[in-house]
Structure 1
């Protein structure tokens, strides 16, 4: 079968097979890395449950704020990934060092700005209608983890660089190590083992801060030691004549951060509305959403792979390869999420048992509530994966402004209003809020996928 000089098959069928193989090789380690990162949050939530239902509820609110700040900021600095991928595909290697240095500067700035709402989390939660005791308890966690924001974003930048050069395995290994470190740190600082103070919920926050720092240092050392990266001079001052990339970074990154914000804002608003329904719905929401987040981590890894593959093919001016890269990622994510949906539907009690003793009669209300929420989650898993992968593929085309507007329409124009109407207007409570999530994600998945099809036709 004839191929061009880069070894890319010329026939469309082979283009698809090539794209599927490349997508799997890149996305599998990235998905494992994202699962490791999400497992950290999952384990945090599980260990919060060991401290009691009240602590789990307070931790749920704190986790919402922390991950809103981190995911939005990480979305902004993720602009590095398509820019480096395109430069790599076009063989413009001289741009990579200055792009990374300036993105690290942006990460530090965002980390300082993001520290403010975390440090003042208690008055913020009170203003949002949460109880005084829950807000005070959540604040101990927020203040501890706020110091880890800058290293978390620095790690995100270095991860994007390494991934954009199609080297995902080191990212996976570093993040797996970070998950292990965080889990051990949780236990030590929660319960005061080995002479450390017993910090409870605050100990989970400090453990996350230490693990974020370890991730940044480990990835920095990897970049410093690899010959491929030494010519970039990433950790040296910017040299004259290399130009500023801030315009490109902000033009691509701000809409990405905005899209993350409106999507995450829909979930955050849902969590806050759950809090107004009582401790049981909020605790059930925390368990169900953390379970869904573990599955979502896999398709988020596939979406990062789609960004890199689409960006590299676009940089190489390979139109069929660009289109095939996006559709291959969508196909891979769809198969996975259908399997996840089946697990949620048929085995909900087994999932809840990871958090609580389902045999304890006192836990039965929250167990039943969580199982019903997982049934709703099973319905929208496929579209949830589709919308994030389609957005990742569009990001590889440097198309971020229109997806941001689509997100506003889908999440805040459809998802949240319909959820509020179903939950409070029709009296469906938390289940109505979750069906609103399903509607918003469906709208986003359809429109974003159609847009990618149009731009690559």
Structure 2
């Protein structure tokens, strides 16, 4: 049996509208959330080069651990989206509740792991002063993992039910609180002692607890979400549902950990080149993180939209959502790339006084890194958007393997070879990083094409497609 692919021109406008209704709040939420790191980096820069280097190192370690364990919980999103598309209310309730149990199960070991990273940082060749500052930061911020995991589970559920605006509001308010608290605790305002990096970590921890409680109240009280009774009673863990969540979510967590772990490895290698190189890397990386929140928000929306169409067994809807996602990503990242190419010094001046002789070495190293980042920015966004589509199809294991091949096989080899063997230093490391991004973008795109082609031709694909293919149709329905 084969599937004719119907190009539904009359439905394209509807898909764009639905996608934007979901994507814009999620993008706004991600950009707002990244503003905390952006503000942190500015404050770290005002505290001195050692603090900036230590804060950058601690932040990337925090991100690696955070993305790995919250990635596991993000398996909730495609499963709830599929159940929503299939109008399976009981399934939505079960997956959402067990997602909260899974959040608890992954947060505890993440906290234990993060609390014992000081020795490892020293063995990686980092400056002892930098390590001491970074370790203090991590031992405070690890207490944010519990509310963060719970927030991720609730956010995945709420967004999969097409309720993205409360996520945006919660994160925007939380970000504003975090930035103000960072300033007060970091620099010692309102009669409080200056806590430096420790103050930034404490502010972040308090913010996550507040955001988790705010979103929990929304889930508990809003009529459209309350009908699923997610927080009315959690019951005990149900192994059958948890197994499905783990099957989809663990590869996402491993993927996220490997991806951010690759960038951590590049940062550690950068640390061997000196404090100036590490500080320049942090400035450029943080700037990219802010811009990258746009395709990340689009990726989350893509997962939901394709998951919902997947639940309706609507192949044409899945494809149409994918094209909308890729188009929006290309436009947004092209704009970001042009900004990097046209205004590099102005971007660096956000973090540092570019006219100060003390910062001359950092500025000189950061300028070419911004150029390299600009060249690969569109591909970076596209690989994230395509991965969002793969998640929506619950295809997470093959992308995990492709991640290893692209980032750790190709990227790390090229980075080390150019950076140290050919002595290109920080530029070599960034070129290798860019080659990895390009390789992953190509591999993911081929994988998505392979899946859609398999669905079109009625082929039996890996486990998620074990259902009989005749259950799929290209119905003209749209999701309300």
Normalised by the size of structure 1, how large is the TM-score?
0.95
Partner of 1:158: 154
Partner of 1:345: 341
Distance 1:424 1:240, change over 3 A: closer
Q: 1:276 and 1:69 mapped to 2: Cα distance?
A: 22
Residues 18-417 of structure 1: pairs in structure 2 closer than 5 A: 18-239=14-235, 244-417=240-413
**CA displacement, residues 300-333 of structure 1 (integer Å, 9 cap, x when unaligned):** 0000000000000110111100111112101110
**CA displacement, residues 338-360 of structure 1 (integer Å, 9 cap, x when unaligned):** 11111101101111111011121
Q: CA deviation at 1:233?
A: 2.5
Q: CA deviation at 1:111?
A: 1.2
Is the partner of 1:113 in helix, strand or coil?
A: helix
Partner of 2:430: 434
Q: CA deviation at 1:236?
A: 4.0
Distance 1:211 1:240, change over 3 A: closer
Query: Any conservation in 2 of the 1:33–1:173 contact (CA below 8 Å)?
Result: yes
Q: CA deviation at 1:24?
A: 1.9
Q: Which runs of 5+ in 1 are unaligned?
A: 1-8
**CA displacement, residues 351-375 of structure 1 (integer Å, 9 cap, x when unaligned):** 1111011121221211121111110
Query: Any conservation in 2 of the 1:98–1:232 contact (CA below 8 Å)?
Result: no
Q: 1:46 and 1:147 mapped to 2: Cα distance?
A: 24
Q: CA deviation at 1:230?
A: 2.0
Between stretches 9-18 and 195-204, larger displacement belongs to 9-18
Query: Any conservation in 1 of the 2:23–2:297 contact (CA below 8 Å)?
Result: yes
Q: 1:452 and 1:17 mapped to 2: Cα distance?
A: 23
Partner of 2:446: 450
Q: 2:396 and 2:273 mapped to 1: Cα distance?
A: 36
Q: CA deviation at 1:284?
A: 0.3
Partner of 2:470: none
Q: CA deviation at 1:61?
A: 1.0
Q: 1:19 and 1:105 mapped to 2: Cα distance?
A: 34
Is the partner of 1:130 in helix, strand or coil?
A: coil
Partner of 1:5: none
Is the partner of 1:195 in helix, strand or coil?
A: coil
Is the partner of 1:389 in helix, strand or coil?
A: helix
**CA displacement, residues 266-289 of structure 1 (integer Å, 9 cap, x when unaligned):** 101000000010000000000100
Query: Any conservation in 2 of the 1:79–1:249 contact (CA below 8 Å)?
Result: yes
Q: CA deviation at 1:290?
A: 0.5
Q: 1:24 and 1:381 mapped to 2: Cα distance?
A: 22
Between stretches 388-397 and 229-238, larger displacement belongs to 229-238
Query: Any conservation in 1 of the 2:117–2:135 contact (CA below 8 Å)?
Result: yes
Query: Any conservation in 2 of the 1:341–1:379 contact (CA below 8 Å)?
Result: yes
Is the partner of 1:456 in helix, strand or coil?
A: helix
Residue of 417, 437, 450 corresponding to 1:421: 417
Q: CA deviation at 1:134?
A: 1.1
Query: How many positions carry a matched residue from both structures?
Result: 449
Q: CA deviation at 1:196?
A: 2.1
Query: Any conservation in 1 of the 2:7–2:316 contact (CA below 8 Å)?
Result: no
Is the partner of 1:193 in helix, strand or coil?
A: coil
Q: 1:247 and 1:147 mapped to 2: Cα distance?
A: 27
Is the partner of 2:368 in helix, strand or coil?
A: helix
Q: CA deviation at 1:18?
A: 3.1
Query: Any conservation in 1 of the 2:219–2:231 contact (CA below 8 Å)?
Result: no
Normalised by the size of structure 2, how large is the TM-score?
0.91
Q: 1:108 and 1:79 mapped to 2: Cα distance?
A: 14
